[in-house]
Structure 1
């Protein structure tokens, strides 16, 4: 009965939100039975002050961009009840950049990172930049493929096999929190980003342009990937790829207000 109570409470929140004619809608999804505590256990980005200095980009941002239409973004994945978003965010950006460089679009292994990156904490959270640093320093910039190292949704011993690894990651550039700089970066390719997804409106997001008043720009808890941006009417938005399966959001994606 407890689980039903949680589900019904979330259903009531959805109905109240949608009745208020917001710019985005909520809906029942595969996370609707989770309590706030259970939901937050899925959020695996750990805030830190360690990354290297910011990069200033000298390119001009495109008016709009959607890398999904360019054949360099894989189908949506599902991290399950494991705080491994940092691995999915990292892999999404690296898969796309590898394909963008003229190579075959491969499905890289998140489990490779979950198991092998000692500076992150598997299902208990981590940092995309630390994952990149590890891959560059210890895996020669290469990743195992999903087919050779499938996702388990839990920490297991590292089984990296260099003979089966592909890709060539040389490092990363870090954007400032200035949205115009992020637009320049996204104009160049898919970008690993971190956001505040702590609110129930994110958990139960269904469609529309997400515009949550309490959304923080500094208290971040979830790593995702930005695959583009555009406008709908007078509203500009980012196209954000999540790793919670296609039953969440707009087929696995969320449009967030710019």
Structure 2
């Protein structure tokens, strides 16, 4: 229990003062929701962390959420730098918002980051993970949480001060009194399922694998157990799929306009629209944008060549006509 004493003494409750919200029981999901999910089976969850007496549990879970998100995106599962986040952000429940706005949503590997004298040095190492948007649940809704977790694990606040929570070993924890306390801890929801007819959330804690069920706890789902639905966040990388298509259409219009002779203005707009389509990190939009640029160069060169041929043809025609007139005047 030393770690809980350290957390409480550190004043975590002062910044985890979240008003209790009545849970919303509606769903308008178009996604197919399977009866169970465990992101561990997909190899995108790092081993259980042992925070010891450190109160930086928000930092730990935030880094774990980003690690899993990056692995799901197609990257390799790697350990992110907790120290990097600690150097930039306070250990508050909305720490992911700080990572997004102060660190640019980027995270370095644990092995790459070295603390410097510069406070929050964003150039200290090369990031391996990045996100550009943070979704935060506005109304406590465990049905929406089911929809979100299909994309990646969730970062959630909970009331972990309940004695039954602290000594948890196995099964589905469902003490209704746990919902009455203060949100004073965070967990990573890595899945869900049903055990003996009781739906649950599968949550990863940061109290070492010796705690709970090998570092995990199953909290009853659908009853806002331990206020698990009061603060829910998820990182994502958002792209506007419609915008590149629109930019491609306008680019093609300007390219053909250039081909028809409207040169300078069209070249400028073509370059701007082509490179607006580029996004970070690398996506196939790079290739499409590159194709458009190359095609534009071809059309421009072809147009210039066509103009040169027309000029040469007019010169030959005029020269021939003048020669014919001189010959005709001799007769």
Distance in 1 (alpha carbons) for counterparts of 2:120 and 2:102: 12
> Structure 1 residues 104, 196: closer, same or farther in 2, change over 3 A?
same
Residue 219 of structure 1, CA deviation? 2.6
Matching of residue 209 in structure 1 with residue 181 in structure 2 = no
Matching of residue 248 in structure 1 with residue 211 in structure 2 = yes
Residue 42 of structure 1, CA deviation? 6.8
Matching of residue 92 in structure 1 with residue 58 in structure 2 = no
Paired residues for 1:8-157 under 5 Å? 31=1, 34=2, 37-38=5-6, 40-41=8-9, 44=12, 46-47=15-16, 58-117=30-89, 120=90, 125-127=91-93, 129=94, 131-149=95-113
Distance in 1 (alpha carbons) for counterparts of 2:3 and 2:157: 22
Distance in 1 (alpha carbons) for counterparts of 2:71 and 2:123: 21
Which structure is larger by alpha-carbon Rg, 1 or 2? Answer: 2
236-245 vs 58-67, greater mean Cα deviation: 58-67
Aligned positions, number: 210
Distance in 2 (alpha carbons) for counterparts of 1:35 and 1:66: 27
Query: Which secondary structure does the structure 2 equivalent of 1:201 belong to?
Result: helix
Structure (1 or 2) with the greater helix fraction? 2
Indicate the residue corresponding to 1:6 in structure 2: none
Indicate the residue corresponding to 1:20 in structure 2: none
TM-score by length of 1: 0.72
- The answer as to whether partners of 1:243 and 1:252 remain within 8 angstroms in 2 is yes
> 1:103-159 CA distances to partner (integer Å, 9 max, x unpaired)?
111111122112211xx2xxxx412x3x323333333321122223489xxxx9645
> Structure 1 residues 163, 111: closer, same or farther in 2, change over 3 A?
closer
TM-score by length of 2: 0.57
Distance in 1 (alpha carbons) for counterparts of 2:59 and 2:204: 13
> Structure 1 residues 35, 146: closer, same or farther in 2, change over 3 A?
closer
Query: Which secondary structure does the structure 2 equivalent of 1:69 belong to?
Result: helix
Distance in 1 (alpha carbons) for counterparts of 2:4 and 2:70: 37
- The answer as to whether partners of 1:235 and 1:257 remain within 8 angstroms in 2 is yes
Distance in 1 (alpha carbons) for counterparts of 2:29 and 2:135: 9
Indicate the residue corresponding to 1:3 in structure 2: none
Runs of 4+ in 1 over 6 A off after TM superposition: none
Gaps of 5+ in 2: 20-27, 222-331
Query: Which secondary structure does the structure 1 equivalent of 2:108 belong to?
Result: coil
Q: Which has the higher contact order (CA 8 A, sep 6+)?
A: 1
Query: Which secondary structure does the structure 2 equivalent of 1:148 belong to?
Result: coil
Indicate the residue corresponding to 2:146 in structure 1: 183
Indicate the residue corresponding to 2:158 in structure 1: 195
- The answer as to whether partners of 2:7 and 2:54 remain within 8 angstroms in 1 is no
Residue 164 of structure 1, CA deviation? 2.7
Distance in 2 (alpha carbons) for counterparts of 1:42 and 1:61: 39
134-143 vs 68-77, greater mean Cα deviation: 134-143
What root-mean-square deviation, in Å, do the aligned CA atoms of Structure 1 and Structure 2 show?
2.9
Indicate the residue corresponding to 1:14 in structure 2: none
Distance in 2 (alpha carbons) for counterparts of 1:246 and 1:161: 34
